[in-house]
Amino acid sequence: MNFEILYLILAPALTGVSIFLAGKKSRVLSEGLAVLGTTITFFFAVRIAFLTTRGEVLTLFREEFRVDALGGLIAFLVAFIGLIAVIYSLPYIRKEVTKKVISPERLRVYYAWMMIFLSSMLWATTTNNIIMLWVIIEATTLASVVLVAFYWNRDAVEAGYKYAMLLTVGITFALFGCVLLYSGASPHIPSASDPLKITEIAKVTSMIPKSIVNLALVLLLAGFGTKAGLVPFHTWLPDAHAEAPTPVSAMLSGVMIKVGAYALIRTVMTLYPVYPDPIKLFVVILGILTMLVGIFMALMQDDLKRLLAYHSVSQMGYIIVGLGLGTYLGIYGGVFHLLNHTLFKSLLFLCVGAITYTTGTRLIHSLGGVGKKMPITAICFFIGAVSMGGVPLFNGFMSKFTIFLACAKAGMLWATLLAILTSILTLFCLLHAAYCVFMGEIKIDDATHKEVPAFMWIGMVLLSALCFLIGVYPQVVYPILNEATKAIFSMMALP
């Protein structure tokens, strides 16, 4: 048995409980426990990712917990961004206390719920039980809603309420889809096996009646698609990202919506061998629609965090298009873009947090010439912008180009052209925002404005370096992406 899985989940969960119980004594104790807990969690995530990249499948408790290369990749990304977000939070949340935006007692609440949120996402990447997958995905919502509404002002509470209501209602559809899959598969699963295990359901997918498959597909796409921010289930995302503390926004956009995508992969992809081609086409169209709606809404934003939130919607469209094709190249491109989006979107949100930390605003029309006071943040933001825009030598180009090729090879030239158009508009939108904020006329001339503390920019620099490294040497991530793609194919039952 692989107890690393259990340690991966328990490390942040126990840290969160410890912060709740002991954090009252000292602010430093809360911060120290949070950093220690995320560091230990990251260690176990690296260990699991290393083992799964070599083709191993880790299991625990008779395969109730199961981690293949795909689960290992998502767990690594969750732990990695979680560690960066916690370190970034040290000066960021302290300043919120200093400005009396929050009370000192709220700091303990912040770090404790960050740890619980982290643990719930990691649990989702390790479970092999289809009903527990739904339960844990819902748990990530309940854990994060406290963080979305953390500032406890009118806008934050409204965003938290909207976030909780829409995701809870949306995820309910996923529950119906999971139950349908279970009920359709259980008569065909041997009595000695557990019909709730996703791996057992995948073996008999071709025996499930087509009517059940089609209905389950729609329910799962609506349910887990809400969590992933797909159009038309995306309306919670801009408010939640805008009102949450910036480190939380980085986790929501960087990894939480990827956990929703992971749930889609684990459930919907098992049905692919019995899909008729029109349904595959429907998934691709849904991805293209998500791309276009996201980018056109982003073009109209003045708030940097809302702008990035709509870009998250748009970029999730690329991932869905790649996965929807159902080919090796498409799935590889989708998983590759999932990895890249985690890096450059987390980077961009942290840069916006740095701007807000220094200037006190995130409105584009109120900013200008910030790059003169914040050169590190400016460089990192431009790297994130060109990465997401798909400029060569940066990671976004490699994954987008893979998806373009996959669409063309599948005979969907129209999808290729629309995806390229979206990428061009994305680059224009982000470079325009970057120019106005960093290179325009100085609008807030304050002698106290300076670059953010090292605890904030060190994560930004690391993410920027990874965006460039993967762009010039994509072979560095090929082993884990190849194994993750093969893991998805292994889930697909043959008709």
Residue 386 lies in a domain: yes
Based on the domain organization, do 362 and 352 belong to the same domain? Answer: yes
Q: Give the SS3 label for residue 346.
A: helix
Sorted by sequence, the CB contacts under 8 Å of residue 305 that are 6+ apart come out as 241, 242, 246, 249, 349, 352, 362
Residue 149 structural domain: 129-229+266-271
The reply to whether 19 and 123 lie within a common domain is: yes
Interatomic CA distance for residues 58 and 75, integer angstroms = 13
Instruction: Evaluate whether residue 52 is within a structural domain.
Output: yes
Q: What's the number of domains the chain is made of?
A: 3
69 and 205 belong to one structural domain: no
Whether residues 288 and 370 fall in one domain: yes
Q: Is residue 253 part of a domain?
A: no
Polymer length in residues for the chain: 495
Identify the burial level of 94 via C-beta atoms within 10 angstroms of its C-beta, where 0-12 means exposed, 13-18 middle and 19 or more buried. Answer: middle
Q: Which of 84, 103, 127 is the last residue of a domain?
A: 127
Residues 450 and 349 in one domain: yes
Q: Are residues 29 and 160 in the same domain?
A: no
Question: Would you say residue 241 lies in a domain?
Answer: no
In a domain, 281, yes or no: yes
Co-location of 354 and 381 in the same domain: yes
Instruction: Flag whether 260 is in a domain.
Output: no
Residue 240 lies in a domain: no
> Is the domain of 94 the same as that of 136?
no
Handedness of CA 106, 112, 115, 121 (dihedral sign): negative
Residues 158 and 299 in one domain: no
Does pTM surpass 0.85? Answer: yes
**Closest among 456, 460, 481, 486 to 470, alpha carbons compared:** 481
Q: What is the dihedral of CA 173, 178, 184, 187, to 10 degrees?
A: -150
Under a CB-based contact definition with an 8 Å cutoff, are residues 140 and 120 in contact?
A: yes
- Is 173 in the same domain as 197? yes
Q: How far are the Cα atoms of 62, 448, 451 from residue 456, in angstroms, in the given order?
A: 42, 17, 10
Residue 384 included in any domain? yes
Domain identity same for 146 and 114:
no
Give me the DSSP letters along 355-379: HHHHHS--BGGG--SGGGT-HHHHH
How confident is the prediction along the chain (495 residues), in pLDDT tens digits per residue? 689 999 999 999 999 999 988 877 778 888 999 999 999 999 999 999 999 999 899 999 888 999 999 999 999 999 999 999 999 999 999 998 888 888 888 889 999 999 999 999 999 999 999 999 999 999 999 999 999 999 888 888 988 988 888 888 888 999 999 999 888 888 888 877 788 899 888 888 888 888 888 888 889 999 999 998 898 888 888 989 888 999 999 999 999 999 999 999 999 888 876 666 777 888 899 999 999 999 999 999 999 999 999 999 999 999 999 998 988 999 999 999 999 999 999 999 999 999 999 988 889 988 888 888 899 999 999 999 999 999 999 999 999 999 999 999 988 999 999 999 999 999 999 999 999 999 877 766 665 678 889 999 999 999 999 999 999 999 999 999 999 999 998 877 544
Query: Of 127, 153, 188, which one is at a domain's C-terminal end?
Result: 127
Q: Which helix (H) or strand (E) holds 194?
A: none
Instruction: Tell me which of 251, 271, 291 is where a domain ends.
Output: 271
- Cα 180 to the center of its chain, rounded Å: 27
Query: Quick one: 351 and 463 in the same domain?
Result: yes
**Cβ atoms 388, 430 nearer than 8 A:** yes
Give residue 186's pLDDT: 87
